[in-house]
Amino acid sequence: MPIDILYFAWVREAIGQGSERVDPPADVTTVAALIDWLAVRGGGYATAFENRDRLRTAVDQVFVPLDTGLVGAREVAIFPPVTGG
Amino acid sequence: MIRVVVQEAPIDLAAEFAGAEADDAGAVATFTGLVRGDDGVTELALEHYPGATERALEVLCDEAVARWTLAKAVIVHRVGPMVPGDRVVFVATTARHRAAALEACAFLIDRLKTGAPFWKRERRGSEARWVEARESDDAAAARWG
């Protein structure tokens, strides 16, 4: 199933785009595995995903930990810790 | 009643204050966050996650309304480029008595800082950098359980 991925803040800048649609292989079953799969592309992906402790994620607009499953996910967002207010 | 707005336009304090009042409510507590000109900051730009931001703020307002029996909970958050002195965020809570309004207002601003997808980027002249999250903000959010 294709998944829309959104990137924000310095993750977006490192990767060079704010969103993309991907179709990961069947063995990519969690958000963490999706990040591993994308990081293999190297370049900005490898830079953005170098330190997993600095990444936060949302699945279908709900904040979730990286070990969350991707079953039924349509939109995954990857971003740094938030700094609003 | 909750009111959540994420906007690029400046925050109209007079209109928001007036809108926060309600019949049968004896107390309105408000918080206004301003852009600080710390260490020569010339611009602060706020990025957000459209849709998810509003949803996260609505969840926080719903929680505050239920926990403190509020008549109203309001969050207006600005995004895009701002300069020192500009209002970044306005929070208002309306209740029968002051304790509920004041506590709920503190709850909303503490939780908002760590629980809603906004990212700040500071510019000092020609140099720009993303603001790092602070542990003190996590601690402030955690005190509400």
Could you tell me the CATH superfamily of domain A3-79?
Beta-grasp domain (3.10.20.30)
Which residues does chain B have within 8 Å of residue A77's beta carbon, measured at their own beta carbons?
49, 52, 117
The per-residue pLDDT for range B83-116, each reduced to its tens digit, is 999 999 999 999 999 999 999 999 999 999 999 9
State the complex-level ipTM: 0.94
The Cα of A12 is separated from the nearest Cα of chain B by a number of Å equal to: 11
To which CATH superfamily is domain B2-142 assigned? Molybdopterin biosynthesis MoaE subunit (3.90.1170.40)
Residue located via tokens 């996910």: A73
Radius of gyration of chain A (CA): 12
Q: Is the CB of residue B109 less than 8 Å from the CB of residue B91?
A: yes
Given an 8 Å threshold on Cβ–Cβ distance, is A10 in contact with B120?
Answer: no
Q: How far apart are CA B93 and CA B81, in angstroms?
A: 27
Query: Which 3 state secondary structure label does DSSP give B24?
Result: coil
Please write the tens of the pLDDT for every residue from B18-77.
Answer: 999 998 899 999 999 999 988 899 999 999 999 999 999 999 999 999 999 999 999 999
Which of B55, B117, B132 lies nearest to residue A79, judging by beta carbons?
A: B117
Q: Which amino acid is at B76?
A: V
CA nearest A77 in B: which residue?
A: B49
Q: Domain limits of chain B?
A: 2-142
Residue of A12, A74, A82 to mutate when probing chain B, most B C-beta within 10 A: A82
The residue extents of the domains of chain A are 3-79
